[in-house]
Amino acid sequence: MTTREIIEAVQEKGLWNPSGKTPWLTLHTAFSRDIQTNGSKSRFVKKDRGKFALR
């Protein structure tokens, strides 16, 4: 999923209501940083440009 799709799904379920202008960019940065920091131990994997999945 793209980070926009993830944000939309989370909002639809009422799990989080982000207040920033670009929450998908914040999430993208967080996923990328986690992958870079934790490598193969990261909970996330980048599948394609702009798309992430759970490991």
Q: Is 44 exposed, middle or buried (0-12, 13-18, 19+ CB in 10 A)?
A: middle
Q: Which two tokens stand for residue 21?
A: 């202008």
The pLDDT of residue 1? 94
- Spell out the residues 6+ positions from residue 32 whose beta carbon is closer than 8 angstroms to its own: 46
Nearest CA among 44, 42, 13 for reference residue 28: 44
The pLDDT of residue 53? 96
Which stretches in the chain have pLDDT values below 50? none
The pLDDT of residue 21? 94
User: What's the length of the chain?
Assistant: 55
The pLDDT of residue 48? 92
Structural domain boundaries enclosing 47: 3-54
Radius of gyration of the chain (CA): 11
Total domains, the chain: 1
The pLDDT of residue 5? 96
The pLDDT of residue 28? 96
